[in-house]
Amino acid sequence: MSGGLGAKKVDVTWATETDGLLLAISVKTINFKDEATGNYQKNLTNRRSDMLMEAVTLHRRFPYAVLAGFFFLDKGAASDGTLRRRSTLANAHSRLQLFTGRNDPAGREEQFERFYLLLLDASPTQVELTCQAVGRPNESIPLSDVLDDLLALTAQRNPDFYEFVEGRLQKAS
């Protein structure tokens, strides 16, 4: 995807030839404990920097695009805190909160419209996923609600072409 600061690969995009980028989802993960510290925080700052650069690059070229960040953490990130340090999940909520909630296309380029932390518990027999909006650590959100919200916001940003009605994105009537 061509961005305002150069080309940028994005994990999930919806773009058209006429409208350009409408929706982009950036996915980052931290799945393994750091052997030295026993927690998941080792690359938290680097992943945040990667995502913020993506947001600036894409918003500079496509200010009306809806950008979402999906940051997957192993479920252990919720309980790796110590007496001296909060858990990785708690730190991620506080360190990423400034970079979510871009409601105006003229808003801060480094902000995502929506940013989510997803705790993943994967085993050979079962997968459990818990999704939280950054800054709301006590509220779980069904993934279907997250996707509906992103599509509704995309329609809101492009009202001449799309509307979101009864859970469906459709061409504007």
Each domain of the chain, given as residue ranges in start order, spans 2-171
> Between 173 and 147, whose confidence is greater?
147
CA distance 151 to 48: 24
pLDDT at 145: 96
pLDDT exceeds cutoff 60 at 1: no
CA distance 70 to 116: 5
Interior CA angle at 113 toward 52 and 88, to 5°? 55
pLDDT digits (tens, 9 = 90+) for 78-119: 999 988 889 999 999 999 999 999 999 999 999 999 999 999
pLDDT digits (tens, 9 = 90+) for 118-134: 999 977 888 899 999 99
pLDDT exceeds cutoff 80 at 164: yes
pLDDT digits (tens, 9 = 90+) for 17-61: 988 999 999 999 988 888 888 888 888 888 899 999 999 999 999
Interior CA angle at 22 toward 68 and 120, to 5°? 25
Band (10; pLDDT cuts 50, 70, 90): confident
CATH 3.40.1350 fits 2-171, yes or no: yes
pLDDT at 124: 80
What does the pLDDT average to over 157-161?
92
Of 1, 113, 114, 134, nearest in space to 57 by CA? 1
pLDDT at 96: 95
Backbone phi, psi, residue 103, to 5°: -100, -15
CA distance 55 to 68: 9
The answer to whether 92 and 77 have CB atoms below 8 angstroms apart is yes
CA distance 151 to 168: 8
pLDDT at 36: 83
Band (151; pLDDT cuts 50, 70, 90): very high
The pTM score is: 0.90
